[in-house]
Amino acid sequence: MIYFVSAGEASGDLHASHVMKELHVLDPSARFAYLGGDNMMSVAGNAPLIHISEMSVMGISQVISALPRLLAQLETAKRAIRRVRPEAVVLVDYPSFNLKLAAYAHSLGIPVVWYISPKVWVWKEWRVPTMKKVIDRMFCILPFEPRWFQRRHKWDVEYVGNPSVCEIDQMMSSLPSRESFSQSHNLDSGKKWIALVPGSRTAEIKANLPIMLRAVSDFPQYTPVIAGVSTVSADLYDSLRGSTRILYGATGQLIAHSEAALVTSGTATLETALIGTPQVMLYRDSGSRIVYSLGRNLLNVKYFSLPNLIMGQEVVKELVMHFCTSEAVSDALSRVMPGKNDYTKQQEMYRDMRKVLGNGNAPHKVAKGIIKLIQK
């Protein structure tokens, strides 16, 4: 059977690839037409229709300038769906783009599965009626989402567990020793590291990496190491990092072997918590204090980082927009370093969060749900 899968960002590429692997197990004849990255390519064995490096945008100004390209990509995806007539369309996060694909596939009578719900409980709740209409099966990865959808919209969605739990457990089970990791990446194993995880989008790296670098300069006893992503130009990193080391394709291992991490908002905050590394979350873009205040009032949640959202309390210190200064980041980091005031408290909450998430094999459950939907 042919499946059409769409993921527009690096994290979606990883999560979608695991679902594709499980589909191969359940359906050995599975073939894929897809929008995605290198992880999905390694499973599918064929090139993507559009690579995620051509799809990622951030912020209003970038969206406006990239609009002609995004519209062309949407038409490319629609033509592919029309041409291959897949058994199902599987959409992973990336809501502004994927919701349009969902509506199109629904209009053709093709079953639509969504994995990793858009965060409509944060904002854009007005999307939900359309989602209910065009999505046949919604699989969520945050434990509070089914209750939210049912209570507010009478929509039954399924919590399948959080994929990061299994992904991190698998990574940790085969984690190389610190000595071996150091040798593989030409790092000084005699130094203690602070991982800098500035995101996967050009604009957020430009905005946040310089703040991270200034903050860690207050910790000369530690060596900062940047977690780079291959979909971002090396020239961008080089223009910002000075002599700071950068590693590609080893973010989880770097975080695991680091004393602490500075992390932008997103899945990486959850992964860092599951690994157990102390962290501070920061996020800044070019918006003003007034824009931030207006936007904050439109949001339906108290927190930004996933550990805090899951637990409903501050697990990770959040420094956002004009609160995100190098001085504030440095101070917050000093408090969660091993042996410091907030280290033990954060570690205890990490363990509590893991219990709340459970240990379900999310990709397998999603793949089973896709097959079941097709066979109805």
Residues 6+ apart with CB under 8 A from 167: 14, 18, 252, 271
CA distances, 38 to each of 87, 159, 187, 233, 308 (Å):
23, 27, 26, 16, 30
**DSSP code at position 39:** H
pLDDT of residue 295: 46
What is the spatial distance between Cα 158 and Cα 369, in angstroms, rounded to a whole number?
Answer: 10
pLDDT of residue 308: 95
pLDDT of residue 230: 86
CB 159 within 8 A of CB 135: no
Domains and CATH numbers, the chain: 2-161+360-375 (3.40.50.2000), 166-357 (3.40.50.2000)
pLDDT of residue 292: 45
| Tens of each residue's pLDDT in the chain, 376 residues | 999 999 988 889 989 999 999 999 999 999 999 999 999 999 999 999 999 887 765 555 555 666 777 889 999 999 999 999 999 999 998 898 999 999 999 999 999 999 999 989 888 899 999 999 999 999 999 999 999 999 999 999 999 999 889 889 999 999 999 999 999 999 998 999 999 999 988 889 999 999 999 999 999 999 999 999 988 899 999 999 999 999 999 999 999 999 999 999 788 999 999 999 999 999 987 554 544 444 444 455 688 899 999 999 999 999 998 889 999 999 999 999 999 889 999 999 999 999 999 887 899 999 999 999 999 7
10 Å Cβ neighbour count for 23? 26
User: First CA to last CA across the chain, in angstroms?
Assistant: 15
CB 227 within 8 A of CB 197: yes
Give bridge partners of residue 50 from the DSSP assignment: 35
> pTM for the whole thing?
0.80
